[in-house]
Amino acid sequence: MLVTSSTSKFFKRKHSINLNGQLIDLSNPIVMGILNVSSDSFFDGGKYETEDAILRRAEQMIEEGVSIIDIGAVSTRPGSGATSTKEELLRLLPAVAAVRKRFPEIPVSIDTFRSWVALRVVDECGECIVNDISGGDFDEHMFDTVGKMGLPYILMHIRGNPQTMQENPQYDDIIKDISKYFSERVRRLTKAGVKDVILDPGFGFGKTVDHNYDLLNRLDAFKVFQLPVLVGVSRKSMIQKLLDVDAANSLGGTITANTMALLGGADILRVHDVKEAVESVRIFTKLKEVASV
């Protein structure tokens, strides 16, 4: 168990992600910064809709030590409404193009579940990581598309869809159920030619508060896949509900949850607050360094 084990406190990481020849080193954990360009995201919706605002935010995250910028144009909060492919592209393409032009050295991921959107972004803006909340379930062409383009792929676990996922989710054993989900889809991704797969257990996506903390407590179980693990708990309802705070006042809880995720073997922290997450990684890395002496 994460909170009681003294023998598996730190995990060796030998992973890297190959993004069009650019190797993203995961020998120590890294931070992925969230850049939402949708109008209705649960925490920062509507804040980054102009090119100037997008570039200022990207620059701030880079100054704070971000390793990857994750750009999304569709809200996937519980109960969120549908967004058309056309609207997603109208928001996403200019944002990715602006960030890639101004900051070409920073790897970009796109938060989309549509293969056509991934194709258009890569065609017009260059290679990126595909961050798919649906694990390929919302678009049957996603795995083959990512494989043919040679892109890294973030495989997230979800139950249902954003409109239905919080309607009484149930599991026999959340770790076993998610592991089965990962195993089947990793096999399909490998068959499709995807060489870099990152696992995301999907905190908050079809899970109760107790499910989320059970998942966080046993996160180290996913190391059996020998694949990078991404954790996204930033300001989510699992923190808000437990601490009786809103999203704006959930930073302290987020820092704590991120630290627990690092101890559980997270390779990538996906966050709104880059500075604080980078500091958590630096402290964790120092502890790991001292422990190995």
- Annotation: CATH topology of 21-286: TIM Barrel (3.20.20)
Instruction: Determine which one of 114, 120, 235, 270 is catalytic.
Output: 270
Q: How confident is the model at residue 7 (pLDDT cuts 50, 70, 90)?
A: very low
Write the burial class of residue 61 (CB in 10 Å: 0-12 exposed, 13-18 middle, 19+ buried). Answer: buried
- Short-list 116, 193, 185, CA closest to 155: 185
Ranges assigned E (strand) in the chain: 16-19, 22-25, 30-36, 68-72, 108-111, 129-132, 153-156, 197-200, 230-231, 268-271
- Short-list 68, 73, 80, CA closest to 205: 80
Decide: pTM greater than 0.85: yes
pLDDT digits (tens, 9 = 90+) for 13-32: 557 999 999 999 999 999 99
Query: Domain spans of the chain?
Result: 21-286
Q: Is 57 a catalytic residue?
A: no
DSSP 16-79: EEEETTEEEE-SS-EEEEEEE-SS--TTTTTSS-SHHHHHHHHHHHHHTT-SEEEEE-S--STT
Q: Is 223 a catalytic residue?
A: no
Instruction: Determine which one of 77, 236, 241, 275 is catalytic.
Output: 236
pLDDT digits (tens, 9 = 90+) for 164-211: 667 777 899 999 999 999 999 999 999 999 999 999 999 999 999 999
